[in-house]
Structure 1
Amino acid sequence: MTDFLAALALVLVIEGLLYAAAPDALRRAMAVMLTQSPGTMRIAGLSAAGIGVFLLWLIRG
């Protein structure tokens, strides 16, 4: 459980730094995301999750 909470905290730190460092770039990225179809977003999300699982497997394995 502590690993999960540490990972969640790290996500918040990284997101916070991105919003602080490049707010205009994130706004542009959000605008592009709003124009994408739900299917495209779903594939992108599943791909990111799959890459994350693979990286965890490499790191923790």
Structure 2
Amino acid sequence: MQDLLTAIGLVLVIEGLVYALAPSLVEQLLEALRLMPEETRRMVGLAALALGLSLVWLAKAVL
């Protein structure tokens, strides 16, 4: 449970920093996502999921 709360907290910290430091960049990114085909967004999401899982696995395996 501690790891889950830590992970959610880190996600919120990173997202908060992005919104605080570069709000116009977030708007541009959202517009680019709107223009992207659904299948491409799905593949980007799956790639992010795979990268995230790999990083978690690597962190657990090394530490």
Q: TM-score, normalised by structure 1?
A: 0.95
Matched residue pairs, number? 61
Distance apart, 1:42 and its partner CA: 0.5
Moved over 2 A (4+): none
Q: Identify the residue that residue 53 of structure 1 maps to in structure 2.
A: 53
| Gap runs ≥5 in structure 2 | none
- Structure 1: segments with no counterpart, 5+ residues: none
AA in 1 matched with 2:60? R
Q: CA RMSD in A?
A: 0.6
TM-score relative to the length of structure 2:
0.92
- Output one character per residue of 1:12-52: Cα deviation in whole Å (capped at 9) or x when no partner: 01100100000011100100000111110110000000001
